[in-house]
Amino acid sequence: MRFKALVLFILIASTFKTLHAQELEGSLGLHTFADNREYARTHRFSQTIFGLRFSPEIGLLLDSTHRLRVGFNALHEFGSPRFTNEFLPVAYYEFKQQDWNFYMGVFPRHNLLSDYPRAVLNDTLSYYRPNVEGMLLKYENENWKQVFFIDWTSRQTTTDRENFIFGLSGKYKKDLFFLSHYAMMLHNAGPAIDIPGDHIEDNGAIAIKAGLDLSGKTFLDSLTLNVGGLMSFERVRTVGSWQTPKGLLLETAMEYKRFGVTNSFYKGDGHHIVNGDQFYTAKTYNRTDLSWRPKIYKGIEGQFTLSFHFLEGTVDSQQAFGIRYKIQGRKALKN
């Protein structure tokens, strides 16, 4: 696998050297992570996620609007005898003009969909599904941001199910006030050969938040307060009607000199959101995060978070530490 990856990358780089474009681009990304989840007291899934992802890319900036990138994203889980536990392709086209961005292909999820609330799209996706396979359209200016995406997660065969995720998110900000929304739906169809008793499933969620961003208005480096609601949608076609549990969300986040505290509270019905955080199956849930973002070096991002999960009369804990490093460069080519 290591030899195949090296040969592929050399061939791609050699091919691009023969092309005429304004700029040849390249980037090298590294994401190392340790996430220890002690969830036994609340009978959730306890696990330790410990490993790294290596993601080189090379491409062409055709002009100020059009970009092509290819590469791969490889996972190595610490303790595994294998060189890589997963080898994923990266290949996409990007259109960028003024306030618009469009991606099509297999492209990184980080910084495009990583702002979704965990209740709607859980943070485990950043470890085990780092790429979006499909399309994404983003519009963003000083006050508005809107993102639409479709992520094809399984192609239908005679034995494999067809399923995909699509979603819409956005934010409006004016002075101190902001209003944000996040929606996602998973469509899960059957394989080409019908399974007796099997049915098409739809599972999704929407979260809406309104709040104040008081960053720069106090002695703190950042301070946000918001209140909102969470509703999930689930049905098994031809069997039952839509199930729509709902509840209240309250959140406070603050940071001072790279030390932060975030408290997220939920009260309402329990949810079954396939791609959401498992703690929102509870009717009352509070999460407190104590975080530290050490200043390491230019281009290197680090964060340590100690989390406490309060629900069902007990407390679970979680310790997560991650480092992201990305180096990139470009070279002008003759026309």
What angle (nearest 5°) sits at the alpha carbon of residue 93, between those of residues 90 and 97? Answer: 140
Q: Residue 202: pLDDT above 80?
A: yes
The closest alpha carbon to 284, from 253, 259, 310, belongs to: 310
Distance CA 211, CA 224 (A): 7
Rg (CA), the chain: 22
Q: How far apart are CA 85 and CA 116, in angstroms?
A: 27
**Distance separating alpha carbons of residues 108 and 40, to the nearest angstrom:** 32
Query: pLDDT: is 161 or 308 the higher one?
Result: 308
Strand partners, 185: 166, 204
Least confident segment among 5-19, 232-246, 288-302:
5-19
- pLDDT above 70 for 289: yes
CB 290, CB 305: distance < 8 Å: yes
Residues 6 or more apart whose CB falls under 8 angstroms from that of 134 comprise: 104, 149, 150, 151, 152, 164
pLDDT confidence tier of residue 157, bands split at 50, 70 and 90: confident
The pLDDT tens digits for 121-137 are 999 999 999 999 999 99
Task: Considering only residues 81 and 19, tell me which one the structure prediction assigns the higher pLDDT.
Answer: 81
Q: Which of 157, 212, 223, 205 is nearest to 179 (CA)?
A: 212
State the Cα–Cα distance between residues 225 and 261, nearest whole angstrom: 12
